[in-house]
Amino acid sequence: MARPHQPGCEENGGDSSGAYSVDGIPVVDLDVFANGDADRRSEAIRHLGRACADWGFFMVINHGVPESLQGATMDACKELFSLPTEEKAEYMEAGPMDPIRVGTGFNSAVDGARYWRDYLKMFAHPELHCPAKPADLREIAAEYAARTRGLMLELTTILVGNHYPPAGPDVGAIGLPTHSDHGLLTLLFQNGVDGLQVKHGGKWLLAKPIPGSFFVIAGDQLEIVSNGRYKAVLHHALVDGEQARMSFVSLIGPCLDAVVKPIPELAREAPHGAEFRGIRYREYMEHQQSNRLKENAALDIVRVQRGILAHQVSMNSSPINV
């Protein structure tokens, strides 16, 4: 894929490393990492680091996943969402950690509000779990998961198909509320209907993708391992009044039984040491998926509470008068 131009989007900067931005959103050209010389790769790595540190959100182009495969993946999900309810019923009562889930909203047991969203979630690595229908979904999902794992290493992968029906006159309808993702990184592409908004610099920005690109979203586990250097970005999904919006997501995370904690070197460099305690990824995911979405509140269960700790130390070290 050559460096594309998207009508209606402002393109900024650009250099030999392939680093540039569209509407301010950083764009990372993966072809430079594969085929650039040492100087271009070094600059591209610095650009990627700045994108993670300053935004926690960027687009990637020349990633090697064909647009035809993206389209086939979206079509297979659309077919699943149109199946009669009885053909999806066995997956609609699944719990947060079950390998296949089909449902509405986020977690209807705890949502407390109506969200305009249908979803399919499938654990895809280390083993692909997939509904039996539609018949071609398994083959397409397997190829898609293999291609995206080639970008993101052999890590736990959960595939999520999202369908946001038109809201009609319900102005301001929400597909998903403001949240951060539980994994390390999220890859996302959509069907051409905008609705993803990310929070940057205290303001909400509508993310308009370059055709064929992926959005990459930093998640909670990346914030933990980087000891807060790379923040999990807050985002939400809005719903169009007239058109259905669809997105397809790869949630990339550590092995489920891995204990995730700050990298020791980064903790030692930080003024206050480790900002997070270690937690098994499976436990963190279950906590986040079982509770109502509320920004990045799930991180509070691993965030070091320094004020509380300082008070406890003070109390424990206070002299005792007899």
What would the pLDDT profile of 227-268 be if each residue is shown by its tens digit?
999 999 999 999 998 999 999 999 999 999 999 999 999 999
User: Does residue 71 register a pLDDT over 50?
Assistant: yes
148/152: higher pLDDT: 148
6/27: higher pLDDT: 27
In this predicted structure, which of 167-176, 227-236, 262-271, 282-291 has the lowest mean pLDDT? 167-176
Residues 296, 178: Cα–Cα separation, whole Å: 8
In this predicted structure, which of 21-25, 123-127, 188-192, 227-231 has the lowest mean pLDDT? 21-25
Residues 130, 123: Cα–Cα separation, whole Å: 8
3-state secondary structure the chain: CCCCCCCCCCEECCCCCCCEEECCEEEEEHHHHHHCCHHHHHHHHHHHHHHHHHCCEEEEECCCCCHHHHHHHHHHHHHHHCCCHHHCHHHHCCCCCCCEEEEECCCCCCCCCCCCCEEEEEEEECCCCCCCCCCCHHHHHHHHHHHHHHHHCCCEEEEEEEEECCCCCCCCCEEEEEECCCCCEEEEEECCCCCEEEEECCEEEECCCCCCCEEEEECHHHHHHCCCCCCCCCEEEECCCCCCEEEEEEEEECCCCCEECCCHHHHHHCCCCCCECCEEHHHHHHHHHHCCCCECHHHHHCECCHHHHHHHHHHHHCCCCC
User: Does residue 317 register a pLDDT over 50?
Assistant: no
Is residue 197 within 8 Å of residue 185, measured between CB atoms? no
Residue 321 — very low, low, confident or very high, per pLDDT cuts 50/70/90? Answer: very low
Of 115, 65, 14, 37, the closest CA to residue 250 belongs to 65
- What local confidence, expressed as pLDDT, does residue 301 receive? 96
- What local confidence, expressed as pLDDT, does residue 20 receive? 62
- What local confidence, expressed as pLDDT, does residue 107 receive? 53
- What local confidence, expressed as pLDDT, does residue 168 receive? 80
Q: Quick one: average pLDDT of 125-143? A: 94
Is residue 75 within 8 Å of residue 85, measured between CB atoms? no
Task: Tell me the average pLDDT of the chain.
Answer: 86
User: Does residue 164 register a pLDDT over 80?
Assistant: yes
- What local confidence, expressed as pLDDT, does residue 218 receive? 97
User: Does residue 322 register a pLDDT over 50?
Assistant: no
294/313: higher pLDDT: 294
User: Does residue 8 register a pLDDT over 50?
Assistant: no
